[in-house]
Amino acid sequence: MRVTKRILVAEDDPVTARFVGSLLNEHGYEVIVADDGDHALALAADAAPDLIVSDLVMPYRDGYEVLRVLRSDPRFRAIPVVILSMRDREEDIVRGFEQGADDYVVKPFNARELVARVRKLLEPRGP
Amino acid sequence: MQRVLVLAILSVTAVFSALTLLIVAGKAFREIRDARRRRRRNALEPLVLAYAHGDARSILPALGGGVSRRDRPVVEAILLDHVQRVRGVERDRLGRVLDELGFVETYLAGLSSPRWWVRARAAEHLGLSRAKRATPHLLRALDDDAYDVRLRAAKALAAAGGTAAVAPLAKALSEPNRFATIRIADILAGMGRPVVRELIDVFPHLSRHGKLAALDILGRIHPPEAVAWLNERLADPHPDLRARAAHAIGAIGATASAGVLREALDDPEWPVRAMAAKGLGRLHDEEAIPLLCAAMRDREWWVRANSGEALRRIGPAGIAALEGMLDDEDRYAQHQACLVLESAGMLERRVAELPSAGPGRDAALSLVQRFVRVGQTARLCELAATHRDPVVRDALARLLPLTEAAEEVVR
Amino acid sequence: MTWTRLLFDLVVGFNAFVVVYFVALNSIYLALFAVSLGEVFRFVRRTFFSDYRQIMQSDMAWPISVLVPAHDEEKTIVETVRSLLTVNYGEFEIIVVNDGSSDFTLARLTEAYELRRMDRVYKRSIPTAPVRAVYGSIVHPNLTVVDKGKGGKADALNAGINVARYPLICSIDADSVIEDNALLRVVKPFLENPVETVAAGGIVRIVNGCEVRDGRVTRIALPDRALPIFQVVEYLRAFLTGRVGWSSLQSLLIISGAFGIYKRQEVIEIGGYSHDTDTEDLELVVRLHEHLRRKKQPYRVVFVPDPVCWTEAPESLRVLARQRNRWHRGLLQTVWLHKRMLFNPRYGAVGLFAFPYFAVFELIGPFIETAGYVVVVLSFLLGLLDTPFFLLFLAASVLYGIFLSVAAILLEEVSFRRYPGWVDLVKLFTYGVLENFGYRQLLSAMKVKAFWDAVRRRRAWGRMQRRGFGVEDRRRYGGLSERTSSS
């Protein structure tokens, strides 16, 4: 049981990545950043994050495919995933949840809200 | 002659050397400046972000009292980059920094620059900073000569201006350049219900594509109070406007609109018919089922497609009607019905009942046979080869014309 | 009148003609460059990052059908499609047209994307070779694969146009490497002028020397070998100083086959791509101009001075010769097909300036240049050569050539800066200079040969055309389809 939770941020826009990284750091989380879909999966395997914040439109593998791979692998099936994307159409959001996302936040996003959602997903469910 | 040539050579050489010098010097200068800026950004960005995430009243203490002149462009870039990527408290804090450090003043001054690109950039940045006091200046900029300035001002007003900006923005939908219309439409749609009254008031004064954009916005906001007014739009002489109105009515989904939409299914213009069909699907209007079946024989593909899709959306009654269409005389209607049933998963569901003994099996057999008669067998061949249940595969193989099934197996 | 007297007169006359030609051509180049300069500056100033974000999220942005004609592309087709699937855009579909491949192109696609046969009903607006089946992907609902009998690239594109369901079509080459934001960039003109804009293209760059991973360029660099670097400089000049200029004069005649967006309805109205030439992309745009001008319909064909796509350039002389031969033959065929537009005021700026420019300077120009060398030798032998004059003239023309190349490099430096290193800059400069000492002359010679080939072929053309589709068996597919207005 890790004391400081580790969050993997999969985001190809460096500015957003820096923002989300510093935001989560500020709230006491350890952050690792992947800048494309393949890198995200590699880091998920190596670094065993406790939660993943992922963009949808990324090079090499988009967020949906990353989700699909994560959900079909028993090692990662339980990791909560929050999608953070510019795509705001109903189809995209529904598809995100259908593929196994635990939450979907649309960009431009509310920082404090994102933290609240992350925190909620990381706290253990009561007995 | 010779002298002309010599002159030509000398002048070209001179310009060439100047160009080369320009390129080399420019590149060197830019590289040094960029390297410096990168270093400063790495140092300053965490400070700015820390302020945004925290709750300190002012950023100045963290920045050591102020920002040096050389650091100003770096801090400005940091602020502008982040302010457009977030919403809420953090965004407001970043916007306040832009004001506190004097950037907003610079932008306001920039709005009076004689150069159009300076004005445009100023308007864009004022929009990003959401400074309320810029509103009167931006309103004036809506009448600027340069299209780019008008566009940026409109965008800025929508972000910063609040309700005061709605009226001029709605009027600006008549902007001749459509890109501006799209931006404004997106922003107005994002503002939601407060915009509706204004749009309806200003509607008669808008240009044709302004009206189209306004109807589009209403479709996206889908305010129930606009239904009556939209119903009247269905009588507009212009078909595009009628079509957009029908689309908006469908988006609102008020059951009271079913009647007018059913009438619109008879409109002489196909875009109106297509949108009416779509709307009836959203309304789940069962009374419209016979009309939609008739619309599946329409000459225009979009009307047929939307009608088929609408029947699917209506529910079990609509699906039953679609299955009935498989026997229709019109070939296009048959094809469309097949397509919709396939995409709705009906084919899979029925086919799965083939092994059972009872009404399910009969319904399945009947459906498959009708698909075969229409000639839409590709998916069936696929299922005959790949379905999990061997009984199903067997049954399908027997039902399908021999050559196609054999071809499928070979694949 | 003796023969020597006649020859003397001819040579003198020719020399004068060459000077006139030289002045005319370079004046046009300078004018184009000035126009391009202004346009590039203007473009850079009015482009904001937030625009692209807005287009991506807007409900009113137009959906696009991306067409990928593929023939025997088993090695790269899966990566190409993968990189297309992750392109930044809201709503779009990808239609791969398998044009009778003899290898495992279709099998690779089926496996990688779980294709299933679909009963897609569509209107066959343009006649094509028979379509065997249409496949859809279970995993990616916006991917469609059309399997058809072999018919050539134009035919494949037409089949794709038939199946496409969106109002805009984007035709690319199977081995083009598309930039992430390419669709956002090239669709902007359509959003700014939805009624008038009918076609748009962007800057195509050469990928040789760059690192490409899974269909994306991960590191930009210049090629190592000389021949591709010459082409890089040539492309910079042709795009940044050529096409930008023509586009702002509303006379853009070429949009790359490697990446171009068109309004589907307009293309269908003129009958789709034609099999009549070796360069179907050039011919399509010229035909669009002709058709719309004749209809007197206001329209715009736009060039977006923004890099959109990377393509492979020939590394060997033999392949380069074949490519340029095909381009030039295609140019000749197109000019011949649309010769009624030449100097015809009915076709506005296109008929009066752009099209004649191509006819005169691109087609006849190489002859003049090559003949020029012959005449110089002749003059020398006849003792007519005014050596100082000749040397000066040579210096002037070389310097002008260098000037234009350097000007293009400058434009690149101030706007897009895709080649960041100093070594790259020096390389570009060096080759921009060296270009004039052999490369350009080589290209001219290739064009002369192409002319003769085209003339010879045309006599056989009539016989071959009767055989229907599949005439051009040796037509290349993906890549190596770029066009420049170089000289």
Which H/E stretch holds residue B19? helix B2-53
Half-sphere exposure of A29 (CA within 13 A, CB side): 25
What integer pLDDT is reported at residue C265 of this predicted model? 92
User: Using CB atoms, which residue from C121, C403, C413 is nearest to B26?
Assistant: C413
- Would you say C285 and C181 are in contact if contact means Cβ atoms under 8 Å apart? no
- On whether any CB of chain C is under 8 Å from the CB of B186, the answer is yes
| Residue C30 included in any domain | no
| Residue C164 included in any domain | yes
SS3 assignment, position C158: helix
| Residue C156 included in any domain | yes
* Residue B50 Cα, gap to closest chain A Cα (Å): 8
Exposure of A30 by Cβ count < 10 A (0-12 exposed, 13-18 middle, 19+ buried)?
A: middle
Chain B (33-62) residues lying within 8 Å, Cβ to Cβ, of chain C:
none
Q: Which domains does chain A have, with CATH numbers?
A: 6-122 (3.40.50.2300)
| Residue C207 included in any domain | yes
Mean pLDDT of chain A: 91
- On whether any CB of chain C is under 8 Å from the CB of A32, the answer is no
| Residue C295 included in any domain | yes
Is A88 within 8 Å of C57 when comparing Cβ atoms? Answer: yes
Q: pLDDT tens digits for B65-117?
A: 888 999 999 999 999 999 999 999 999 999 999 999 999 999 999 999 999 99
- On whether any CB of chain C is under 8 Å from the CB of A86, the answer is yes
Chain C (133-192) residues lying within 8 Å, Cβ to Cβ, of chain A:
180
User: Using CB atoms, which residue from C88, C213, C214 is nearest to A57?
Assistant: C88
Q: pLDDT tens digits for C65-99?
A: 999 999 998 888 998 898 898 888 888 999 999 99
Residue C120 CB neighbour total at 10 angstroms: 16
What integer pLDDT is reported at residue C458 of this predicted model? 60
What's the mean pLDDT in C361-372?
Answer: 83
Residues of A with Cβ-Cβ distance to C88 under 8 angstroms: 57
Confidence band (pLDDT; 50, 70, 90) for C342?
A: very high
Best to test chain B binding among C18, C27, C121, C387 (most B CBs inside 10 Å): C121
| Residue C84 included in any domain | yes
CA dist B310 and B323 (Å) reads 14
Is A62 within 8 Å of C88 when comparing Cβ atoms? Answer: no
What integer pLDDT is reported at residue B403 of this predicted model? 54
Range of the domain at C147: 63-226+254-315
What's the mean pLDDT in C320-334?
Answer: 91
Query: What's C254's DSSP letter?
Result: -
Is C414 within 8 Å of B6 when comparing Cβ atoms? Answer: no
A21: which 2 tokens?
């990284």
Is C46 within 8 Å of B148 when comparing Cβ atoms? Answer: yes
Is B182 within 8 Å of C57 when comparing Cβ atoms? Answer: no
Q: pLDDT tens digits for C278-296?
A: 899 999 999 999 999 999 9
Mean pLDDT of chain B: 86
A55: which 2 tokens?
């963009």
Residues of A with Cβ-Cβ distance to C56 under 8 angstroms: 86-87
* Residue C76 Cα, gap to closest chain A Cα (Å): 15
| Residue C96 included in any domain | yes
Best to test chain C binding among B1, B182, B208, B303 (most C CBs inside 10 Å): B182
Give me the CATH number covering residue C272: 3.90.550.10
The strand pairing partners of C92, in sequence order, are C64
- On whether any CB of chain B is under 8 Å from the CB of C392, the answer is yes
Threshold 0.95, pTM exceeds: no
- On whether any CB of chain C is under 8 Å from the CB of B32, the answer is no
What integer pLDDT is reported at residue C359 of this predicted model? 87
Percent above pLDDT 90 for chain C: 41
* Residue A113 Cα, gap to closest chain B Cα (Å): 9
What integer pLDDT is reported at residue C477 of this predicted model? 44
Sequence letter at residue B338: C
Residues of C with Cβ-Cβ distance to B155 under 8 angstroms: 50
Q: pLDDT tens digits for B363-373?
A: 888 888 888 88
Confidence band (pLDDT; 50, 70, 90) for C195?
A: confident
CA dist B264 and B235 (Å) reads 9
Neighbours of chain C (3+ CB pairs under 8 A): A, B
Confidence band (pLDDT; 50, 70, 90) for C473?
A: very low
- On whether any CB of chain A is under 8 Å from the CB of C216, the answer is yes
Residue given tokens 């300035």 in the structure block: B149
Is B9 within 8 Å of C46 when comparing Cβ atoms? Answer: no
Residue C420 Cα distances to A59, A123, C72, C211, C220, angstroms: 22, 47, 36, 15, 8
What integer pLDDT is reported at residue C148 of this predicted model? 94
Mean pLDDT of chain C: 84
Distance between start and end Cα atoms, chain B: 77
Flag whether pLDDT at C482 surpasses 50: no
What's the mean pLDDT in C308-320?
Answer: 92
B12 Cβ neighbours under 8 A, 6+ residues apart: C396, C399, C400, C403
* Residue A29 Cα, gap to closest chain B Cα (Å): 14
Give the ipTM of the model, two decimals please: 0.91
Beta strands in B313-381, from DSSP E residues, in sequence order: none
Count of the separate structural domains present in chain C: 1
Flag whether pLDDT at C461 surpasses 50: no
Best to test chain B binding among C40, C58, C59 (most B CBs inside 10 Å): C59
- Would you say B150 and B172 are in contact if contact means Cβ atoms under 8 Å apart? yes
Q: Residue C54: closest CA among chain A residues belongs to which residue?
A: A86
Flag the least confident range among B126-135, C12-21, C264-273.
C12-21
From first to last of its 411 residues, chain B has per-residue pLDDT tens of 677 777 877 887 888 888 888 888 888 898 899 999 999 999 999 999 999 999 899 999 888 888 899 999 999 999 999 999 999 999 999 999 999 999 999 999 999 999 999 999 999 999 899 888 898 899 899 888 888 888 888 888 877 767 777 888 888 888 766 677 777 888 788 888 888 988 899 899 888 888 988 998 898 888 988 888 998 898 889 888 999 899 899 888 888 888 889 999 999 988 899 999 999 998 888 888 999 999 999 888 788 888 998 999 898 899 889 988 888 888 888 888 888 888 777 888 888 888 888 888 888 888 888 888 887 777 787 788 778 888 888 888 888 776 554 455 544
Flag whether pLDDT at C480 surpasses 60: no
Q: pLDDT tens digits for B137-148?
A: 998 998 888 888
Residues of A with Cβ-Cβ distance to B45 under 8 angstroms: 18
Confidence band (pLDDT; 50, 70, 90) for C481?
A: very low
User: Using CB atoms, which residue from B6, B24, B186 is nearest to C58?
Assistant: B186
Best to test chain B binding among A9, A22, A86 (most B CBs inside 10 Å): A22
Neighbours of chain B (3+ CB pairs under 8 A): A, C
Residues of B with Cβ-Cβ distance to C406 under 8 angstroms: 16, 19-20, 23
Residue B79 Cα distances to B37, B45, B48, B253, angstroms: 14, 9, 8, 42
What integer pLDDT is reported at residue A54 of this predicted model? 96
* Residue C339 Cα, gap to closest chain B Cα (Å): 35
CB pairs under 8 A between B and C: 104
